[in-house]
A = this chain, B = another copy of it.
Amino acid sequence: MSDTNPSPPAGYYRRHVFFCLNDRTNGEDSCAHHGAKEAFDHCKARVKAEGLAGPGQVRVNKAGCLDRCAGGPVAVVYPEGTWYTYVDPSDIDEIVESHLKNGQVVTRLLLPPDVGR
C-alpha cells in the first residue's frame, strides 16, 4: 500500500471533549439518567463563555454510549484520552477551568482505569 503514517498534525481541535448522552429506555441505567445532558449543556456554555470554543481550541461534543457505564456519567477528553466522571456543575466548571483552559488534569474526577461497562 502507498499509505504513509506521518506524525499527526496539530489537531483540528486542541481538545475534543465527548460526553456520553446515552439514554436507555429499556429499564437499564445510562448516563442520561444522571444529568449528562445538563452537564454537556453546562460545559458547552462555559467553554463558549471562556472564549475557548472553536477550531484550534476546544470542542464539546455529544456522544453515544462510551461503554464505561459502570462509572457513569462519563466524559473523555482527547487527544489526551483523559476520562472523567462527574456529579454536578461545579465538577464541570473545574474540568473547564483546570483541564480545558489550563491543561491540568483534575485528578479527583478521574475515572478509575478498570471501570468498564
Interface residues of A, Cβ cutoff 8 Å to B: 1-6, 8-9, 11-13, 16, 18, 21, 55, 59, 61-68, 76, 78-83, 98, 103-107, 113, 116
Contacts and interface: CB of A to CB of B under 8 A. Distances in A.
Contacts of A67: 59
Given A13-B81, A18-B61, A78-B79, 9 more contacts: A1-B98, A4-B104, A6-B105, A8-B81, A8-B82, A9-B81, A12-B83, A61-B64, A61-B65
Contacts of A82: 8
Q: How many copies does the complex hold?
A: 2
A12 B63 contact: no
Contact of A107 (B4, B12, B64): B4
A63 B64 contact: yes
A105 B4 contact: yes
Contacts of A3: 98, 104-107
